[in-house]
Amino acid sequence: MKRFRKTITLCMAVMFCLSMSLTAFASVNHIQDWTSDKGNGQANGKSSGSGSISSSGNQGTTSGSYNFSNGNVNINVTWKTSPNNSGFNNLQGGGWRTGTSNRVINYNIGSYSFTSGSNGCAYMCGYGWSRSPLTEYYVVERWNNFSNNNGTNLGTFQSDGGSYTAYRESTSGPNITGSGQFQKLKSVRSSQVSTGSTQRITMQNHFNFWSSKGYSLSNHDYQVFIAEGYNSAGSANFSVW
């Protein structure tokens, strides 16, 4: 009987580890396509196949494509803020409809370019939301004119061969539940990743560090790797898996 119980316990442990592994490396199944003046774009929420990314409004335009293949997704996007307009924000990327704390985001930035006025910025990052508490989070890997002047510095830590500085900010505005109060957590890599090379983000390391500072997250919503621009013009071609 003792041997039987040990066998059952071992099998359960193996099944649990396998389940966690499959969750961490599950195939991508979600396109995030959003602009500040149009909201969710035509590609938002797509989980397979290929198609266009396209949005045109008073504030700016985006165009491009997505293509799912063999468990990964390729995103090709170009964005531009309209002349004499401000406040244009675009966000396009791919990943998973439901995030997990142990996700490993693999990505390769094939190309990235950026032009901007004095108050514009752009970055490429791991990105997602949790609902408990309501939190928008970033792991910033590459950027232009990125600033954290409104955030509290939580300290530095090491992950995936790089050094990151973490920030927290309390804010109010549009979010995944509508509009209202929420927090932002960010990890910003000290040295930018290069284009054309395979990289990864071990999300567990970032969640653990944020948690050690008193900011634990649970009940994850979508979790993606994105190109985001604000009052800028640029383009990016990248793959996520």
Give the residue numbers annotated as catalytic, written as ranges: 136, 228
Distance CA 118, CA 132 (A): 36
> For the residues of 74-120, what is the DSSP string, one character each?
EEEEEEEEPTT----EEEEEEEESS--TT-EEEEEEEEEEEEEEEEE
**Cis ω before 83 (30° cut-off from 0):** no
Strand, helix or coil for residue 204: helix
The answer to whether the Cα torsion of 169, 99, 192, 212 is positive or negative is positive
Distance CA 130, CA 122 (A): 23
- The amino acid that residue 37 corresponds to is D
What is the DSSP pairing of strand 72-81 with strand 218-240? antiparallel
Q: What is the DSSP letter of 24?
A: H
| In contact, 8 and 28? CB cutoff 8 Å | no
Strand, helix or coil for residue 33: strand
Burial-class residue 10 by CB neighbours within 10 Å (0-12, 13-18, 19+).
exposed
- The amino acid that residue 56 corresponds to is S
Q: What is the DSSP letter of 148?
A: -
Question: The tokens of 145 are what?
Answer: 């004119």
